[in-house]
Structure 1
């Protein structure tokens, strides 16, 4: 268990630093109010998550240290958007189109509403 936590921590630290750096570089290059840094991180995260999952899917056991380091640790800190899209893709893969749509629309609408509610709540405190 201690080794899993170590791998998770190392992956998480690398993912956090990578997200911070890449997001900052992309945003500076954009020179616009559009959040290109976050967009870039989310899209690259989706590609990386898919590539790592596709490569490891039939090569390693689900609890392996590599999966914990790369997917849970690094990708969890880099962007959880990739996990959200992967889970949606899995729903599409098994033919659960309505659930996939509900996941995308539900999380987007509810997430925006909750951020706005949180901002309002925080201002009241």
Structure 2
């Protein structure tokens, strides 16, 4: 039961963060805020996965809170899908295609970036620990 609460609490945090990102003023045809939310969520989930695989810093419940809860509540695949379809239905094929492909590429790169950042940080900490004593 505690695991369910961890996911729910994380989902609350992620959903509120997503809502706040949506309040950022932006004018334009490209759904920039959803794009950024999905990219940031991809980076964050990459960080969480790599921290979990390389260290013991996060408990299984903390991992559930962050990965399933926060990332699940924050990222917006359903909104992305709706916005992409709306762009196509409005005849904005170039913007819709750019958004769909750009989101895919950016989010894959985001996960890889998050994972690489943690690997680099862990390597640096290990190097400094060896040099320090």
Q: TM-score, normalised by structure 2?
A: 0.53
Q: Higher RCO, 1 or 2 (CA under 8 Å, sep at least 6)?
A: 2
- Structure 1 residues 64-84: Cα deviation after superposition (integer angstroms, max 9, x where no partner): 101100000110111165xx9
Does residue 48 (structure 1) correspond to residue 47 (structure 2)? The answer is: no
Pick one of 31, 35, 39 that aligns with 1:39: 35
Structure number, greater radius of gyration: 2
What is residue 69 of structure 2 aligned with on the other side? 73
Mapping for residues 38-117 of structure 1, pairs under 5 Å: 38-60=34-56, 64-79=60-75
User: Runs of 4+ in structure 1 displaced over 4 angstroms?
Assistant: none
Unaligned runs of 5+ in 2: 78-103, 113-133
Unaligned runs of 5+ in 1: 91-125
Alpha-carbon contact 2:37-2:76 (below 8 Å) kept: no
Aligned residues: 82
Does residue 20 (structure 1) correspond to residue 16 (structure 2)? The answer is: no
